[in-house]
Amino acid sequence: MQPRPLWFILNLYGWVVLIMSIVTAIVVGEWWIFLLGVIGYLLALLLDLVGGRSLGRTGAMRLAHAEQENRELKAEHARLMGGVKERDARLAALTESKKEP
């Protein structure tokens, strides 16, 4: 996997939020509105990280495979836990039948 050291510069949504805040700060005349744009840019980067888009194509594919494997493991866990509960119910029924002479 190739490293992407400047992936945050390619975030289109972050730049749109930042530019909109700059324009709004100029129109309104309040400089602190620019800080809201910086916060919006950072939130866009955070959402990009959470969504896996910053990983690139191969990283996103690896993430998708890992998510699929996680779903399969959870299904297998549920199946095995169901088997354990059935076994416990059978053992409880067997011990109850042995207690009743």
Least confident among 1-5, 23-27, 44-48: 1-5
Report the chain's mean pLDDT, rounded to a whole number. 87
Cβ-based neighbour number of residue 17 at 10 Å: 20
Cβ-based neighbour number of residue 21 at 10 Å: 19
Tokens of 38: 């910086």
**What average pLDDT does this structure show over 33-43?**
92
pLDDT at 37 over 60: yes
Tokens of 11: 């975030």
List C-alpha distances in Å: 39 to 43, 47, 56. 6, 12, 24
pLDDT at 73 over 90: yes
| Per-residue model confidence (pLDDT) at position 43 | 92
95: Cβ contacts below 8 Å, ≥ 6 apart: none
pLDDT in tens, 49-65: 777 666 666 777 888 89
Please report, for the chain, the start and end positions of each structural domain, with discontinuous segments joined by +: 8-51, 57-101
